[in-house]
Amino acid sequence: MEKVHDFKWEKGMSVKSLADRIGRVGFQGAELARASNIIVKMKKEGTKIFFTFTSNMVTSGLRGFFAQMIKLKMADIIVTTIGGLEEDFMKAIGEKFIIGDFDMDDVELYEKGVNRVGNLFIRNESYARFEDMIQPLLQKFYEKKKTWPVSELLKEIGLTLNDEDSILYQAAKNNVPIFCPAITDGAFGFHLFMFQQKHPDFVVDVVKDFANILFSTSHDERKGIISLGGGVSKHHAIFSCLLNGGLNYAVYMTTAHHTSGSMSGATTKEAKSWGKIKDDADAATVIGDVSITFPIAMINALETLCKEGILKC
């Protein structure tokens, strides 16, 4: 078993060196190192990787890192929520979000037309511009065909963008499907509703997309997940894998705790009771702010994979 090592700073310390040393400190640092090693194993063994995340992570600057992961072939299937895809689109067309403060006067922000996500601010104008651009796109898609599975619709949207840091763009370009079962849970859902009032035969088919995610893998394939946060994104992926024999690898990163009984707090260990993760799966659950834990773990994994020639870097 690994012994506890004292952590010491060295001038010019790399992220990989930092991650390796954190892994020998103990507590969540050890679990972080374990998560990074599992990600390396997933890629080395040709595992089909499900990558799930909640919308607040796209609000943050992690969005460009997620797009880079897709470009580097570190995600084969994406499951997320619509808020993040809206904000990915907004950023792709030039909208800027602001780092503010957790303790701002929210009534004052409302009066100024500013929406707060933690300590990040989004102006109403960003949503207005999103509306101005998405309605003509829906008209274009409607003229092409009347019924769209969600993932196909999102791919079409991604193909209209031209931003290397966009999740939608990179997914469309690299043929990585994005599944969003709760597509109506946001501004885009409202615009779909408004469009359908004028075009009642326009259908966004969520059930068809459930079939698509089920058939995106099989019992025979090795399956892994990197799940950031929880909710519908996490569950949609692990449930689809349950129906396909369970996951061989799993990395969960979250701020929630298992004592809440929530999907966000549910550990990889709990998932084994459902068969969502195989009983002999290599798995880790990291508790902490994903905007900190994920870059450290993933950069460590990428450095290893690049050094060993698994990735073209």
Q: Domain residue spans in the chain?
A: 16-98+146-307
DSSP calls for 232-265: HHHHHHHHHHHTTT-EEEEEEEES--GGG--TTT
- Which position has the token pair 């500013």? 114
Give the dihedral sign, CA 69/154/250/62. positive
Residue 279: what are its φ and ψ, rounded to 5°? -65, -25
Q: Which two tokens stand for residue 265?
A: 């707090």
pLDDT digits over 22-80, tens only?
999 999 999 999 999 999 999 999 999 999 999 999 999 999 999 999 999 999 999 99
- SS3 state of residue 231: helix
Residues labelled as active-site residues: 276
pLDDT digits over 112-150, tens only?
999 999 999 999 999 999 999 999 999 999 999 999 999
Q: Is the pLDDT of residue 108 over 90?
A: yes
- SS3 state of residue 3: coil
Distance CA 81, CA 164 (A): 21
Distance CA 234, CA 187 (A): 21
**CATH assignment of 16-98+146-307, among 3.20.20.140, 3.40.50.10420, 3.40.910.10, 3.90.1150.10:** 3.40.910.10
Q: Is the pLDDT of residue 313 over 90?
A: no
pLDDT digits over 24-36, tens only?
999 999 999 999 9
Q: What pairs with residue 178 in β-bridges?
A: 78
- SS3 state of residue 174: coil
Confidence at residue 1, expressed as pLDDT on a 0 to 100 scale: 78
Residue 178: what are its φ and ψ, rounded to 5°? -110, 120
Closest CA to 86 of 127, 140, 138, 128: 127
pLDDT digits over 274-306, tens only?
999 999 999 999 999 999 999 999 999 999 999
Distance CA 163, CA 171 (A): 11
Confidence at residue 131, expressed as pLDDT on a 0 to 100 scale: 95
pLDDT digits over 140-180, tens only?
999 999 999 999 999 999 999 999 999 999 999 999 999 99
CB-based contact 232:267 (threshold 8 Å): no
Distance CA 152, CA 287 (A): 34
CB-based contact 51:60 (threshold 8 Å): no
CB-based contact 176:170 (threshold 8 Å): yes
- SS3 state of residue 50: strand
β-strands 247-254, 77-80: how paired? unpaired
CB-based contact 147:205 (threshold 8 Å): yes
Q: How confident is the model at residue 2 (pLDDT cuts 50, 70, 90)?
A: confident
Confidence at residue 312, expressed as pLDDT on a 0 to 100 scale: 86
Which residues of 54-103 form beta strands (DSSP E)? 77-80, 98-99
pTM of the model: 0.96
Task: Quickly count helices (H) and strands (E) in the chain.
Answer: 14, 11
Specify whether the backbone of 60 is left (phi greater than 0), alpha (psi in -120 to 50) or beta.
Answer: beta
